[in-house]
Structure 1
Amino acid sequence: MRLDLARLQELHLADLRSVGTAAAGVTERGPFRLEAHAPGIVRLTIGSRTLPDYGLVTASPEPCGVRLTPVPDGLLLAAGPLRATIVAEDFQVTLARNGTTLLGPPKDAHFRRRYRLPRFAATEKGFFLAIDLAEGEPVYGHGEKWSRLDHRGQWLVSWNEDALGVNAEASYKNCPFAWSPRGWGLFVNTPGRVSHGVGFAPLSHRSYALEVEDECLDLFLIAAADPAGILERFTWLTGRPGAVPRWSLGAWLSRAYYRDADEFLGAAAKVRELALPMDVITLDGRAWQDTRTRFAFQWDSRRYPEPRAVLGRAGELGFRVCCWEYPLVSVHNPAFAELAAKGFFLTDERTGDPWLHEWDPAPFGGVLTPLPTSGIIDFTRPEAWAWWRDRHATLFAAGVDVIKSDFGEQVPDSPYCRAWNGDRGPRLHNVYALLYNACVHEARERFLGQGLVFARAGWAGSQRYPVQWGGDPQADWGGLAASIRGMLSWSCSGNPWYATDIGGFYGGPPEPLLFVRWCQAAVFASHMRFHGLGEREPWLFGEEAQNLVRATLELRYSLIPYIERSLALTCATGVPLCRPMPLAFPEAREAHAFDTQYLFGPDLLVAPVLAPDGEVTVWLPDGVWWDWHELERHVGPKRLRLALPPDRFPLFVREGVEIPLAIPVQRTAEWGEGDIPLAAVRRFA
């Protein structure tokens, strides 16, 4: 734990010394400002920003009829239904909506001193603040986290890591944004590390404490009628989700890894032979590059002397091709010296040389080839950005359709690591993933007309650059459950894009039943991918599993008209495709404990099977719900305890809706452009 509790409990910001008519004042840590940024959003800043902000906030302020009124020892800022109050004593800031206080200073006193936690405090690396939590109040968001969706009681760190699994707090995609079903949200506008004590008992089970490692505190406070409204405001602020091409919604086939062209094309041909609907096949890291010199934008000529011919054959089999990359260049690459001379790598300030990333060989030994010492591309330098972007042209021209932009968590936590723009490792570390994926997204947009990536790491704003996948889960039932929670936590953080590794990444091969259940769960995400160390092709798990997977894939493709309709709403409003119970039904507190079930779009309720016995408990919300498989009518709210055979899984539909079902195809291109031809419209009445 980085937080020194005793130290923080003694550090306090100086009282606000003055509050002017423009809601501006001064603290000992620099200027203070409280302003209405837009309807439903109040912005609080302390200190001045001299370092880059990286455009995490994309929306300019909007007029919202601000009124300023003096109050005892402070000022009241009113904007529509919002009221923000700043009181000089102990620097108290309160946010209310329609007369209900949503956010305010912590109320837990201390026997020996006035307050257990300071409202605001200076720390060696930035700022500390604390807000009050109501008794039992849940808190959601924070990016991709694997444990309970309600983070009350947890200590979380917004810091991207190569987590090597889904079993601990560390994760690949973080976002310093949180919200409560009571109607408030907060976003720390920073690329730096943010630590969250969310009702964390060693600090205070009654308060939400944050430590922000940055030169200034830039905090957006959001208030809305419900969680959907909070996410609408947050994605308005940081960017709406981008659009994706239809073919990307089909199934993706991958493994780590296809060793040569024959194995790659053999898998593609087998898919068509067995009539398994799929659209994309992936060449992973070691599949097409020489590992010793990667990443080089060059094919391993020993295995791929004619890459255009190989990709052309994949196209003839009806596949789009995804190719792997990462933003590092081996010291053994012939281009390394040239790139270093141009200043295209992050540098070591002590020597002026490129900062060299040394890989920990432990995770790779015996499983994957160890990786070479490498330089890290500096995406803050415009010339380096343009070089990396434009090098993709040859890949796209050869027949590559999308890039799997792997890694992005390797910028070191060292003040000696320096970027071209003057920033250093600790502040660049998190936002590096956003810059990297924005560059690759821009490359595809420039050369193929529409941006798209398949990324592992992310930060606030990553919803603008779809798609992300969920890291490297263990190939067991716990890995499946954690992957679903990771997806839903990412959804709660304003990002609808997600795919899991069907079957799990490591610790396999998975048992056939787990493979089938994972595939069934994966249907109900924005994207669907088979991937893992070793074989993950459906025909390798037995005929029964293969047939069940085929039926599951056919269901996925039949639902693509519904998925497209739902994603159009997501891109317009920021409300995610996968909506966990606290987001979909904030008033139904009983539902919130069911944190692996969710709405898929507005009308389908999914509860993945997470145990080999097929037993699952489903909570049906208020209203009438129809069982998709059995056409049985249920009136909620109620619990259902089910024990289901391998060909059945909990899927329910709201009464009164129509679900369009596409005609069967083996790949989305068979539908042509425009509206998808329908085989039927299922009506649930």
Structure 2
Amino acid sequence: MSTNTSLFDVTAPNWNDIPQADVTGTASVQGDGSVSLPTSQGDLHIAFHAFGVRLRIGKQGQADYGLLVSTPDIIPADIVQSEQHTTLIAGDSKLVITHSPFTFELTQDNKTIQKTATDGHFVRRYRLPPLAKVDKGWLLSLELDTDEAVYGLGEKWGGLNKRGQLVRSYNHDALGVNAEISYKNTPFCWSPSGWGVFVHTPAPVTHAVGYATWSQRAYGVLVEDECLDMFLMHGEDGNAIINTYTDLTGKAPTPPVWSLGVILSKAYYKDVPELLTTAKDVRDHKMPCDVITLDGRAWQDTDTRFAFEWDPKRFDDPAAVINKLKADNFKVCIWEYPLVSIQHPLFKEMAKKGWLLKDKRTGEAYQYQWDMSAFAEVLTPLPESGIVDFTHPDAYQFWMESHKPLFDLGVDMIKADFGEQVEDDNMLAHSGDSGDRLHNVYSFLYNKCVYEAAEKYSKNGPFLFSRSAWTGSQRFPSQWGGDPQADWGGLSASIRGALSWGMSGAPYFATDVGGFFKDTRDQELFIRWSQAAVFSAHMRLHGIGQREPWSYGPEAEEAVNQALVLRYRLIPYIYNAMQQASNTSVPLMRAMPLAFPNDRVAAAFESQFMFGDDMLVAPCLKPGGEVEFYLPEGEWQRFPSEQTYQGGKVYNLTLGAQEMAVFVPKGKRIPLGPDVEHTDELTDQQPQISHYWPK
């Protein structure tokens, strides 16, 4: 039988003939306090930590790329061995291992945290092998209780509860938000039952989470790497487990206050007059806004990009353009991607130095060819390009330092686009990795390089917008959800993507307000998308075509401007939530299972969320203004009307164009700031509280 681990082969596997691991020897304590246990598939290394246990088996010493920011202390274990079992005891933790076949049960204070899946099969003991080596990696199967929910696994557009889904942790240029594939992935998940799983790897991981084709009562983890390195964690709830995960992989710093303002963008401003006219219109219309974005085709020559230089045909004096925008109190964001056109001299220069990914077949710089089916009149075809090798220390340093002239010119932030292009096993990195083992971590290295440039050179504090991300990318905020369809389904999926990413340890997210493609100038959709985005960590209006509110008509302008005014009033509240997030990794947009872990009814409402500690938001996700939402137990007041609602109930409202369904627990006060059109009007660009709601 074939055990190939591509996505399509694992949809309906037959596990019958896969050898299951057996324990073949006696456990021994190693010098660092961990335990080594011989098995038929190699030595299994077990380390106890305060939060749980780490299991490692397979080839060691491969590049790990700094995904972990800390090495947790190991708690020494006592070993109790018999003919059939090995029991390891470390404080209040116990790991009981059965020898043939290998199975385990992890307990904490006599409570089971996780164990081998107990799904039996009529003709064999276990439906899924408890632990097995397969052609391209490792399989470990874990138990799922009846109706047990599982959350996380990155930015995913479908149901937040991954139970029943087959999810692959593999970054894609997804070209939308309508399928399983997504731009931001991490092999980390957790259950409200009190356990979490994190696979420490740069490689793809396939998760069959109660996926019935495998087993509806098991969680099969297929790690497509030569080493299985898994952390099993316990915690009181999802917030505690996310905090543990980000203790390992890094916390998100607090972004600068100006980044909380509105970011305006489109694909794309074709020339300087259009750019400056738009900036003037924003101020003339009294639209609150802090940042204006020059997308890829707005400031670079498409045929020769990316080379850190302005298109000379349109920008004979970039400094003058930047200075004009600064004079109108705009911060400036510019776009980049980590590819260099073969038509630019920089390609040959970097290729000669070995700073681009190489082609295994020729030893020369790999030349990446784009799939032209994605391009149209607005998104013009892209040139054949080399891919920057961020595993090469000199290439990394060069790319980072090349941002200095841009920041010196007055650029404030970078939109780091793409990063999902390492798709071919023939692409070879300086680290020695290629293909799948390089694919996901490439996003992390790219994010890290550009964020470090902003840390070093930005005059107004570091801030980054990245589209693709992997484990640890939360350390380089922020991320946006790429390319949603401009319809109601695109809005709904974007919110689920934001919540799922937040449940995966990344507290900051922004959507493309209005949708990226197939815009039909639907003013009601634009109003509702803008209102929902007020309650996100960052807020960007972006897509193919104009995203200025007045471009959708006077009703849209009035309603959206009112929402943007509220966004700026909420800056003190948002900033406080961000400071909390930087310490604990609790996201700003908190899905109901995070905010109310003991309320099973709340968990069913996957499109509403808590924004910070005290604001419950029920976005309007269909035309007509109808909203159905659930308020957990207690008394709630509608914001800003102060109307009282009794919790523990489901409600339906029909909203007017300028109305939102936002609720605050009675007795809580929301700090509000002054009405401003940009954060330069704030003293030292710091949050200022002018009053509290309710008074």
The bucket for the TM-score relative to the shorter chain is: over 0.9
1:3-35 deviation line (CA, Å, top 9, x unaligned): 275453421333011242423112233221111
1:509 CA drift (Å): 3.4
What are the Cα deviations for residues 610-644 of structure 1, in whole angstroms up to 9, with x where unaligned? 01111111110112211113211122111111111
Task: Check if 1:265 corresponds to 2:302.
Answer: no
Moved more, 107-116 or 197-206: 107-116
Is 2:258–2:685's contact at 8 Å kept on the other side of the alignment? no
Are the counterparts in 1 of residues 204 and 223 from structure 2 also a CA contact under 8 Å? yes
Residues 78 and 615 (structure 1), Cα distance of their counterparts in 2 relative to 1, 3 Å cut: farther
Q: CA deviation at 1:276?
A: 1.0
User: Within 1, Cα distance between the matches of 2:463 and 2:94?
Assistant: 40
Q: Does 1:423 align with 2:433?
A: yes
Equivalent residue for 2:323, pick from 312, 320, 334 = 312
The answer to whether structure 1 residue 42 and structure 2 residue 53 are counterparts is yes
**Structure 1 residue aligned with 2:417:** 406
In the other structure, the counterpart of 2:27 is 20
**Distance in 1 of aligned mates of 2:363 and 2:587:** 45
Question: Which residue type is aligned with residue 377 of structure 2?
Answer: G
RMSD: 1.5
Of 479, 498, 507, the match for 1:496: 507
Distance 1:314 1:79 in 2: 61
**Residues 246 and 668 in structure 1, CA contact (< 8 A), matched pair in contact too:** yes
Amino acid across the alignment from 2:23: L
Instruction: Determine the structure 1 residue equivalent to 2:663.
Output: 652
Letter in 2 for 1:3: V
Once the two structures are TM-superposed, the CA of residue 425 in structure 1 deviates from its matched residue by 1.6
- In the alignment, structure 1 residue 349 sits paired with structure 2 residue 360: yes
Distance 1:520 1:310 in 2: 31
One of 122, 145, 149 as aligned partner of 2:160: 149
Shift of 1:98: 2.9
Count of residues in Structure 1 that have an aligned counterpart in Structure 2: 682
Tell me if 1:443 matches 2:450: no
2:544 equivalent to 1:533: yes
Deviations 1:134-165 (A, max 9, x none): 00111110100000001111111111000000
Residues of 2 paired with 1:260 and 1:674: CA distance?
A: 30
Measured in 2, the distance between the counterparts of 1:127 and 1:8 equals: 13
Instruction: Normalising by structure 1, report the TM-score.
Output: 0.97
Correspondence 1:437-476 to 2 at 5 A: 437-448=447-458, 450-476=461-487
Partner Cα distance (2:15, 2:299) in 1: 51
Kept after mapping to 1: 8 A contact 2:197/2:232: yes
* Contact in 2 for aligned 1:40/1:82 (Cα 8 Å): no
Alpha-carbon distance in structure 2 between the residues aligned to 1:186 and 1:15: 23
Q: 1:289 maps to what in 2?
A: 300
Pair 1:29 & 2:29 matched: no
Report the Cα offset of residue 514 of structure 1.
0.4
SS at structure 2 position matched to 1:267: helix
* Gap change, CA 1:597 and 1:19, over 3 Å in 2: farther
Listed as ranges, the matches of 1:196-235 within 5 Å are 196-235=207-246
Distance, in Å, in 1 between the alignment partners of 2:590 and 2:73 is 28
Check the 8 A contact 2:256/2:462 in 1, yes or no.
no
Q: 1:536 to 1:509 in 2, by over 3 A?
A: farther
Q: Deviation per CA, 1:83-109: give whole Å up to 9, x if none.
A: 332222321122223322131111111
CA contact (8 A) 1:82 1:98 kept: yes
Alignment match of 1:8 (pick from 1, 15, 18): 15
- The residue aligned with 2:673 is 662
Q: Deviations over 1:146-199 (max 9, x none)?
A: 000011111111110000000000100001011110000000001101111111
Segment of structure 1 superposing worse, 483-492 or 394-403: 394-403
Q: Does 1:114 align with 2:121?
A: no
State which drifts further: 185-194 or 50-59: 50-59
**Separation (CA, whole Å) in 2 of partners of 1:10 and 1:556:** 58
- Residues in 1 aligned to 2:147 and 2:11: alpha-carbon distance in whole angstroms: 26
Q: Report the TM-score, using the length of structure 2 for normalisation.
A: 0.96
Structure 1 residues 211-250: Cα deviation after superposition (integer angstroms, max 9, x where no partner) = 1111110000010111111111111111111221100010
CA separation of 1:675/1:326 partners in 2, compared to 1, >3 Å: closer, same or farther? closer
Which amino acid is 1:429 matched to?
Answer: H
Structure 2 residue matching 1:673: 3-state secondary structure = helix
After superposition, the Cα gap between the structure-2 partners of 1:610 and 1:6, relative to the gap in structure 1 and judged at 3 Å, is closer
SS of equivalent residue, structure 2 residue 43 = strand
Residues 504-513 or 86-95, more deviating:
86-95
Q: Deviations over 1:578-634 (max 9, x none)?
A: 110111111111111110111101111011000111111111011221111321112
Instruction: Tell me the residue number matched to 1:562.
Output: 573
CA offset digits 1:262-314 (Å, max 9, x no partner): 11111111111111111000000100000000001110011000000000100
Residue 363 (structure 1) shift: 1.1
Question: Pick from 364, 379, 382: which aligns with 2:390?
Answer: 379
Distance in 2 separating the partners of 1:118 and 1:659: 52
3-state secondary structure, aligned to 2:691: strand
Task: Provide the secondary structure at the position in 2 that maps to 1:13.
Answer: coil
Q: Structure 2: how far apart are the matches of 1:124 and 1:521?
A: 46
Q: Work out which of the residue numbers 246, 257, 267 in structure 1 matches 2:257.
A: 246
Q: CA deviation at 1:69?
A: 4.3
The one-letter amino acid of 1:17's match is T
Instruction: Say which SS state the counterpart of residue 632 (structure 2) adopts.
Output: strand
Does residue 1:186 correspond to 2:209, yes or no?
Answer: no
Residues 128, 211 of structure 1: 8 Å contact kept: yes
Kept after mapping to 2: 8 A contact 1:503/1:530 = yes
- CA displacement at 1:674 relative to structure 2: 7.0
Task: Write the distance in 1 (CA, Å) between the matches of 2:301 and 2:465.
Answer: 21
Contact 1:104 1:131 in 2 (8 A): yes
d(CA) in 1 for partners of 2:689, 2:156? 38
* Structure 1: segments with no counterpart, 5+ residues: none
Q: Report the residue type matching 2:169 in the other structure.
A: S
Give unmatched runs, 5+ long, in structure 2.
Answer: 1-7, 30-34
1:524 to 2:535 alignment: yes
- Residues 620 and 347 of structure 1, relative CA distance in 2, 3 Å threshold: same
Matched residue of 2:690: which SS?
strand
What secondary structure sits across from 1:545 in the alignment?
Answer: helix
Residue 161 of structure 1, aligned match among 172, 179, 184? 172
Deviates more, 1:373-382 or 1:628-637: 628-637
CA contact (8 A) 1:103 1:132 kept: yes
Report if the CA contact (8 A) 2:413-2:458 is conserved: no
Question: Do the aligned residues in 1 keep the contact of 2:679 with 2:685 (CA within 8 Å)?
Answer: no
2:32 matched to which residue of 1?
none
Give secondary structure in 1 for the equivalent of 2:607.
coil
Closer, same or farther: CA 66–112 of 1 in aligned 2, 3 Å: closer
Q: SS where residue 158 of structure 2 aligns? A: coil
After superposition, the Cα gap between the structure-2 partners of 1:331 and 1:675, relative to the gap in structure 1 and judged at 3 Å, is closer
Supply the distance in 2 between the matched residues of 1:120 and 1:88 (Cα, whole angstroms).
11
Code of the aligned partner of 1:32: L
Alpha-carbon offset, residue 647 of structure 1: 1.0
The alpha-carbon deviation at position 421 of structure 1 amounts to 1.0
SS at match of 1:197: strand
The answer to whether the 8 Å contact 1:19/1:74 transfers is: no
Report the counterpart of residue 389 of structure 1 in structure 2.
Answer: 400
